[in-house]
Chains A and B, each alone.
Chain A
Amino acid sequence: MKYAYYPGCALETTAKEYDHSTRLVARHLGVELWEIPDWNCCGASAAHRVDHLLALALPARVLALAEEQGLDIVVPCAACYNRMKAVEKAVRESEEMRKTIEEIIERSYKGSVSARSVLDVLINQVGLESIKAQVKRPLAGLKLAAYYGCLWVRPPCITAFDDPEDPMTMDRLVEALGGEAVPWPYKTECCGASLPTARTDVGLGMVYQILRRAQEAGAVAIVTACPICHLNLDMRQKQVEAAFQEEFNLPIFYFTELMAVAFGYSPKEAGLTTHFVNPLPLLESSLERRETA
């Protein structure tokens, strides 16, 4: 199984543990990831807010690079994924737009390859049964809130992945790894994207609501699949706690990190040492509980 891999900008810096654990579990499961050479930023919400053509052209260059190799692209970031899906839809619907894009990026682009999420490829292509077979250290006793955010599942006409209001892919993964996925109402609520940075006054409240609901549902940690969600929930957590005078101390995991831990890698090997809310005590206590049980 071979895919083109587009890490995206966040995975080089703020989300390097996501990059690391994605490559680790992909290798472990026999999925070959070929990193697209010299990839550029997808333009993110900035290009999207400012100019329609630019917002299509930047991700189109990346799609064209993968198309040269005839490979579908695996994408770890929900925002990059959504931008690429928007390009796919735009060229599917308009031959004229496809030509305009080719002209702007000066590359051939037919729209023949497809972007897929890491989550989708691992769970739906490799399969939950194969994943279960690799579990050596089940996450027994861990109550986790699977948090999807917006752009993996919305709008369905672009993303075509799981349910827009109540997705279950990651919940099923948590269960396959031996953990418990709690039902909760904020699994697809927005983390604020760049608002906690650009408009702290509005954005922090959005993060607060998500942390609050996860805790109310009895979760001891949140599982994410997107570097932006992770940054807002993890790095901003202290700031949210200060602003709302409430303590959460909720570790925020990437689902790939939990897979690595369940597959038997040490938390360090899984890349869990660079979080802002330290997840190690929680993992250690869960490991101990299991050993004494």
Chain B
Amino acid sequence: MERLSLSQALSSGQAFKERIEAASGVTLSRCYQCGKCTAGCPASSGMDYGPRGIIRLLQLGLYEKAMRSNTPWICAGCQTCYVRCPRDIDMPKLMEAVRQEACRRGIVGDKKTEVFDRAFLRSIERFGRPHEASIMGEYNLLTGQPFKDIMSGPAMLARGKLALLPSRIKNISEIKKIFARVRAKGGEAR
């Protein structure tokens, strides 16, 4: 079994804890670990720790483990846990805060979802709207699964559901500026 020094983890993580609590609005100590969140989480089968586990790691000061976990990335943000939590913990917001903190440090908990998100945002920055075909192309290339979903392409095209050319908005410079200003404010809109 792995040994962990909790007192050390706790004392070195005070600043981290404050940032996570401020960004999410969640007071970590309010959670009493009942597990209702994980019980109702529809995506828990793919998660290493699950929502209850993540908040436990954070309570114990094991921030690095939380950031390296795939749980915040697999979380679909469905809000089920938040609605059901007897302590009113905004878990999806907490997941978001952990994800963003991880991004800031260049830690990626789940490579596939992160590559997908980046490709999606790049497309919005270029066109103002996402262009599915190029996002999937980039995603497949960067995740080393070049033929993923390729079979649905022709079926989508036949139904007029796949645009070969991106739909661009006219005032694209306005969108580019939004991205630039978010970056200037220290945002992660890479």
Contact = CB atoms under 8 A, between A and B. Distances in A.
Interface of A: 9, 12-14, 16, 38-41, 43-54, 57-58, 61, 100, 103-106, 150-151, 154-156, 164-165, 188-190, 192-195, 197-202, 205-206, 209, 235, 274, 276
A199 B162 contact: no
B52 to A, nearest CB: 17
Contact of A201 (B46, B113, B171): B46
A49 B99 contact: yes
Contact of B42 (A44, A100, A206, A276): A206
B141 interface: no
B121 to A, nearest CB: 5
Contacts of B182: 51, 53-54, 57, 104
Closest 8 CB pairs of A and B: A202-B46, A190-B78, A154-B79, A46-B120, A46-B117, A150-B78, A274-B159, A51-B188
Nearest to B139: A198
Interface stretch (B6-14, B30-38, B61-69, B125-133): B125-133
B79 A46 contact: no
Contacts of A53: 182, 185, 187, 189
A105 B182 CA distance: 10
B7 to A, nearest CB: 32
Given A13-B163, A154-B79, A197 B116 contact: yes
Q: Secondary structure at chain B's binding surface: helix, strand, loop or mixed?
A: helix
Contacts of B116: 46, 194, 197-198
26 contacts: A13-B132, A14-B162, A38-B128, A40-B129, A47-B124, A50-B121, A50-B188, A50-B189, A51-B182, A52-B23, A52-B96, A52-B100, A53-B182, A54-B188, A58-B178, A104-B185, A105-B174, A150-B79, A151-B78, A189-B80, A194-B76, A197-B149, A198-B116, A209-B42, A235-B156, A276-B159
B123 to A, nearest CB: 8
Interface of B: 23, 42-43, 45-46, 73-74, 76-80, 82-83, 90, 96, 99-100, 103, 110, 112-113, 116-118, 120-121, 124, 128-130, 132, 139, 148-149, 152, 155-156, 159-163, 167, 169-171, 174-175, 177-179, 181-182, 185, 187-189
Contacts of B171: 38
Nearest to B186: A53
Nearest to B47: A202
Given A53-B185, A188-B80, A193-B76, 16 more contacts: A13-B163, A40-B169, A41-B129, A43-B124, A49-B96, A51-B189, A52-B96, A54-B178, A57-B182, A150-B76, A150-B78, A151-B78, A155-B90, A165-B83, A197-B116, A198-B116
A44 B130 contact: yes
Contact of B82 (A50, A155, A190): A155
B178 A206 contact: no
Given A45-B77, A151-B79, A190-B78, A274 B181 contact: no
B177 to A, nearest CB: 7
Contacts of B148: 200
A48 B178 contact: no
A206 B79 contact: no
Contacts of B46: 195, 199, 201-202
Given A41-B130, A53-B187, A150-B78, A199 B112 contact: yes
